[in-house]
Amino acid sequence: MNDYMALLLGVVCAGLGGELFVRAAVGLAYWARVSPGIIGATVAAFATSSPELSVSINAALAGKPQIALGDALGSNVVNVALILALALLISGIKSPRASLKRDFPVALLVPVITGVLFLDGELSRIDGLLMLGMFIAWLVTAAIEARNQRNAAEEVLGENRGWLAVLYCIAGLALLVAAGNLIVAGARGIAISFGIDEFIIGATIVAVGTSVPELATTVIAKLRGHDEVGLGTILGSNIFNGLFIVAVAAIIHPITVAWREVAATLVFGFVALLFTYPTNKGFIERKRGVVLLVLYAVYLATILQRQVV
């Protein structure tokens, strides 16, 4: 199959699979009486991060963990500077107090921790285990909070019929696995034909492709008036990408990348989150969407310029 066709088909599968899986997961979570914010940060975030996870595992097993790293870190920039920016252009977003306490601090720590661990030029298996431990600690905290909020649950994006949610889940997972294989195959082929660094390919083309589910979820949540779900999905996805997916790739195959190659992506990811941090009233203004889009354009120009140099 042509590399471009494989990449395009992978993006389509990622979008369809992510949408189906999100509907299924959120529908099942609704039956478990979990509140919308927790659903977004955990269940929906995991569902929309499934393409990145599939890409990460396939790339690491193929001995190309740089694609996995570029995809995960690049997706974090895409999530905030592009996807959340588009949602903000529709209207401002109200952030729940729980997200300010639980998700924002951890999401801001992700690029800092990754940068520190990469100072020696390698993310070892031990580093991966350390990051995985941090992720588990955050997930346990979210699970405890979910248990305390069970009575506050309401329907968000899910289906009321359990059997339909299960069918969506199976179909969505199948599409997401296929998407991971197709995107890795297409991206590697393109990288070879153009002589482009695999980390750059992962941080741009693959990152945008695997972020299609986050885009669909965030925009749907925004249009349906569930800001907490969209914001939770973005923050939770960044935490999944940075602490879980990168950790899994490093555990499978240690990642060796020059610090200067990952620095730009880490810095832009951190700065994008800072621009998104809500006011004292917990509100993210609409005008920040424009600022984030400009930041994303500068990010693309920066990493592509590094490739040329």
Domain boundaries defined on the chain: 3-308
Residue 266 has a pLDDT of 93
pLDDT in tens, 75-122: 899 999 999 999 999 989 888 776 778 889 999 999 999 999 988 888
Question: Chain-wide mean pLDDT for the chain?
Answer: 82
pLDDT at 157: 46
**Alpha-carbon distance values, 261 to 40, 119, 209, 246, 296 (Å):** 31, 11, 21, 16, 17
pLDDT score recorded for residue 55: 79
Residue 232 or residue 244, greater confidence: 244
Per-residue confidence (pLDDT) for residue 153, from 0 to 100: 46
How, if at all, do strands 255-256 and 93-94 pair? unpaired
CATH class given for the domain over 3-308: mainly alpha
In this prediction, residue 80 carries a pLDDT of 93
| 8 A C-beta contact, residue 55 and residue 198 | no
User: Closest Cα to residue 152, out of 39, 33, 42?
Assistant: 33
pTM for the structure as a whole: 0.80
CB-CB contact of 259 with 118 (8 Å): yes
Average pLDDT over residues 178-188: 77
What integer is the mean pLDDT of 260-276?
A: 90
CA distance 201 to 70: 7
The tens digit of pLDDT for each residue in 113-161 reads 999 998 888 899 999 999 999 999 999 988 888 777 665 444 444 445 6
Phi, psi of 26, rounded to the nearest 5 degrees: -70, -35
